[in-house]
Amino acid sequence: MDNITGKVIIITGASGGIGEATARFLAAHGARVVLGARRAEQLQTLTEQITQAGGQAAFARTDVSQRADLTGLVELALERFGQLDALISNAGLGLISPFDELRVEDWEQMIDVNLKGVLYGIAAALPVFRRQGFGHFVNILSTAGLQIVPTMGVYAGTKNAVRTIAEALRQEAGPQLRVTNVSPGFVHTDFAETMTNPEVKAQILARHDQIAIPPEAIAQAVAYAIGQPANVDVGDIVVRPTAQS
């Protein structure tokens, strides 16, 4: 974890779940974290707790579907801490449902957050990384993109679109920038709360109760990738419950 100390790391979707766990874990190991999410009150509380524990943190209300918000988050990192070492694109929506229900608005929200939100982050951070000569993109994806199942078509599609974008970005990035994808399986978070199909939501919640792992497991995977020496690029990490098929 020595390579994490002092790094400035942006985390989107940081107000709960994987984002919050990652913020706490990285801050505890010496990173300076910049937190973004739509729930500003939770961000403020988390920032205060990190600070009281001896860490360094800043936050801004951030809707990743708005390009200006991500630009502002990167600017906050630079203003507060003078650099940016990593951008963790964690914000995501899983509004899963069968295609026949034609929940087009849900599809559009997932595209806006899961896909365009990552692209907006790249647009904000890539010029900074190029100027600095270093930087690391970390994308939180999903095992739903590795094993395609009914009801998750659009959700998995957005995650696999990011997987494709990340690979192209890695190849274009050259020897100075790193790109990592982390694909969690079932994790104990409030992820299912936004689902609009009650039957699918109930199924997901039941499965979570049976096998889900703590979000700290994902935080440790992220820290592993970020903590590697500058000449080591960890491309893909899959972290799921042992019981998950």
| pLDDT digits 0-9 by tens, 8-44 | 999 999 999 999 999 999 999 999 999 999 999 999 9
Domain 8-237 in this protein, CATH class: alpha beta
pTM of this prediction exceeds 0.85: yes
**Closest-CA residue to 58 (of 41, 42, 43):** 43
Q: 179 by DSSP, 3-state: which?
A: strand
Is 224 one of the catalytic residues? no
What confidence tens digit (pLDDT) does each residue in 57-114 have?
Answer: 999 999 999 999 999 999 999 999 999 999 999 999 999 999 999 999 999 999 999 9
Edge-to-edge strand ranges of the sheet holding 86-89: 56-61, 32-37, 8-12, 86-89, 135-140, 177-184, 236-239
Dig out the tokens for 146 from the structure. 């590795």
Give percent of the chain above pLDDT 70.
Answer: 99
d(CA 148, CA 135): 32
Q: Give 146's pLDDT tier (boundaries 50, 70, 90).
A: very high
From 155, 157, 163, 215, the catalytic residue: 155
